[in-house]
Amino acid sequence: MRAFDFTRADSPQAAVAAGGRFIAGGTNLIDLMRLEVETPERLIDISRLDLARIEDRADGGLTIGALVPNSDLAADRRVIERYEVLSRALLAGASGQLRNKATTGGNLLQRTRCYYFYDTAASCNKRSPGAGCDARGGFNRIHAVLGTSDDCIATHPGDMPVAMQALDAVIVTLTPGGACRRLPIADFYRLPGNTPQIETVLEPGELITHVELPPPVAGARHLYRKVRDRASYAFALVSLAALVKVTDGRIAHAALAFGGLAPRPWRDPAVEAALIGREPSVEVFAAAADILLGEARGSGHNDFKMPLARRVLIAALRDLTQ
Amino acid sequence: MLSRTEGAMHFTINGMQYDADIDVRTSLLDLLREHLGLAGSKKGCDHGQCGACTILVNGRRINACLTLAVMHQDDEIVTIEGLGTIDDLHPMQAAFVQHDGYQCGYCTPGQICSAVGMLDEVARGWPSHASADLARPIFDDDEISERMSGNLCRCSAYPNIVDAIREAHAASIESEQAA
Ligand SMILES: Cc1cc2nc3c(=O)[nH]c(=O)nc-3n(C[C@H](O)[C@H](O)[C@H](O)COP(=O)(O)OP(=O)(O)OC[C@H]3O[C@@H](n4cnc5c(N)ncnc54)[C@H](O)[C@@H]3O)c2cc1C
Ligand code: SF4
Ligand code: FES
Ligand code: FES
């Protein structure tokens, strides 16, 4: 690990003014620093900031502090009652120990698990822009099939952000200039293009302070389905956060976000449009899957993700509309 | 705000006070093992992937390898050395002995600290991925396996580990009801 300067911030304002890399739970950043994939010169400890509360909003939604641990968020009674998909996604991620430390803000910003990104002897455009991408012709079983570029095919590995994408969460930040920004999650992550090292629209040094959840959709059924190589403590190959509501025999609401398929939680409005107003049937579900995967492109080892995503989507829709 | 790269730090571990002069890069696990001689917590991977380093910080189980010591100076840290002694075992330690919940023993301190933290989570009503009803989890062997999935055992002593935890849980419920 490279040497760094360590500072504990005592307020969000002081944290952004300090001009360094934030450390919250540390479960991703320390791992990457130990391998010298990340080499910050200054660490700002934000773990003691007063941002660990979950609060009711007047509109029936919730405001989640950026430092709320994943365990506490998953176990919160309001989250279980109103946003079951979020609890389920959190509980499907990592382990009990990691969830106790991992924070809401850190989980959103966790970096890819691409093996070549972790291996400093390999070529990786995300780690060293312009170096090339060893995943394209290498082992790419865990890599993305949607939203990729010639420069990078890595996935966002998270579960929680997939549920937040289906719930239309809003990410609230404090910029180094002192401004508060509200960023809908749909606009938060960037696709790799030719700058895979830039993963979100955050400015350097911008602090996530909260995540807001809009009021729950009344009557929607929730599901988080995660397919992985072992039953627990493994990242998703494909995952799906789904909220579906059926009224008078027709699909009235559908919010579907996928993990494991793309460089960001993947939600395609055309897929949802193909379902809304229709009577549930396998034909309708299969047509939605065709739309989802229309542009999908495998790199060899990950080709299985396309039929897998299709089956996950159809099975989930069947379960949610029965 | 104080900015530093090394220096004197103070820790509360197993109810005792410790001073250490260390680099800020030192993980909590390396502080325990390399600097304070508390080698009960084990290093299996140093990447959060095995659970051998599990300890309790303010009563919550965490991986000591994925956190910096400097971030835990105000915390109550408990390691396997602080749970019980040879003459006065913690009930979870006694249950592991009784059920032979290990072979080589390398993962055991992490398993035991994790199991203690896990039963506290169960007592607080926290659900898991194995819970059919998140609002009312029912404690069974599937729950034990899921909740303990962050602790790997290369000797695969899992069946006996599950037996030990099941019994320690039952005993803790009994002693609660008796009280
Ligand atoms: C073995 C293992 C298995 C795992 N399995 C899963 C899994 O199955 N599913 C899953 O979703 N995750 C999994 N994880 C990842 C885990 O969820 C993340 O490591 C965790 O959520 C990161 O949160 P943190 O608070 O520890 O972040 P940190 O490591 O502290 O920070 C991560 C990044 O976020 C930045 N950051 C943190 N907080 C803020 C903030 N408030 N504002 C701005 N920037 C901030 C940091 O600068 C850093 O770049 C796993 C991790 C491990 C080690
Ligand atoms: S897929 Fe992206 S992260 Fe992985 S090696 Fe290629 S550029 Fe790096
Ligand atoms: S040594 Fe910490 S999890 Fe393996
Ligand atoms: S007893 Fe040997 S690793 Fe678990």
Nearest chain B Cα distance for residue A151, angstroms: 27
Cα–Cα distance between A166 and A265 in angstroms, integer?
9
For ligand 4, the distance from its centroid to the CA atom of residue B103, given in whole angstroms, is 5
> Which ligand 1 atom is nearest residue A23's CA?
30
Residue A289, CA atoms < 13 Å, CB-side half-sphere: 21
User: Does one domain contain both B76 and B139?
Assistant: no
User: Does one domain contain both B69 and B33?
Assistant: yes
Interval A49-55 mean pLDDT? 98
Task: Indicate whether B12 belongs to any domain.
Answer: yes
Say if the Cβ atoms of B117 and A97 lie within 8 Å.
yes
Q: Which of B56, B83, B110 is the last residue of a domain?
A: B83
Is residue B56 pLDDT above 70, yes or no? yes
Domain count of the fold of chain B: 2
The residue to mutate among A32, A38, A126, having the most atoms of ligand 2 within 8 angstroms of its beta carbon, is A126
Q: Is the pTM of this model over 0.95?
A: yes
Range of the domain at B37: 6-83
User: Does one domain contain both B96 and B118?
Assistant: yes
Q: What percent of chain B has pLDDT over 90?
A: 92
User: Does one domain contain both B78 and B137?
Assistant: no
Say if the Cβ atoms of A5 and B61 lie within 8 Å.
no
| Digit-coded pLDDT (tens) for A98-144 | 999 999 999 999 999 999 999 999 999 999 999 999 999 999 999 99
Is residue A315 pLDDT above 90, yes or no? yes
**Radius of gyration over every alpha carbon of chain B, rounded to an integer in angstroms:** 17
Counts of helices then strands in chain B (DSSP H, E): 6, 6
Verify whether ligand 4 is closer than 6 Å to residue B103 (CB atom): yes
What average pLDDT does chain B have? 96
In terms of phi and psi (left: phi > 0; alpha: psi -120 to 50; beta: otherwise), the region of A208 is beta
| Digit-coded pLDDT (tens) for B68-91 | 999 999 999 999 999 999 999 999
H or E element that contains A210: strand A207-213
User: Does one domain contain both B116 and B141?
Assistant: yes
Task: Indicate whether B131 belongs to any domain.
Answer: yes
What average pLDDT does chain A have? 98
Is residue B1 pLDDT above 90, yes or no? no
User: Does one domain contain both B32 and B107?
Assistant: no
- Selection from B150, B151, B149, B144 nearest residue B167 by Cα: B144
User: Does one domain contain both B110 and B128?
Assistant: yes
User: Does one domain contain both B77 and B123?
Assistant: no
Interval A268-275 mean pLDDT? 98
Q: In B, which residues are within 8 Å of A97 by CB distance?
A: 48, 51, 54, 61-63, 114, 117, 150
Which residues have C-beta atoms less than 6 Å from ligand 2?
A 112, 114, 116-117, 124-126, 133-135, 152-154, 196
Query: Closest-CA residue in chain A for B49?
Result: A233
Q: Estimate the crossing angle of helix A305-321 against helix A282-293, to 10 degrees.
A: 140
Can you give the pLDDT at residue B2? Answer: 58
Can you give the pLDDT at residue B89? Answer: 97
CATH number assigned to the domain comprising residue B79: 3.10.20.30
Q: Which of B21, B49, B83 is the last residue of a domain?
A: B83
Say if the Cβ atoms of A27 and B4 lie within 8 Å.
no
**What domains does chain A contain, in order, with CATH numbers?**
5-47 (3.30.43.10), 221-321 (3.30.390.50)
Ligand showing the shortest atom-to-Cα distance for residue B96: 4
For ligand 1, the distance from its centroid to the CA atom of residue A88, given in whole angstroms, is 17
Does the ipTM exceed 0.90? Answer: yes
| Digit-coded pLDDT (tens) for B105-160 | 999 999 999 999 999 999 999 999 999 999 999 999 999 999 999 999 999 999 99
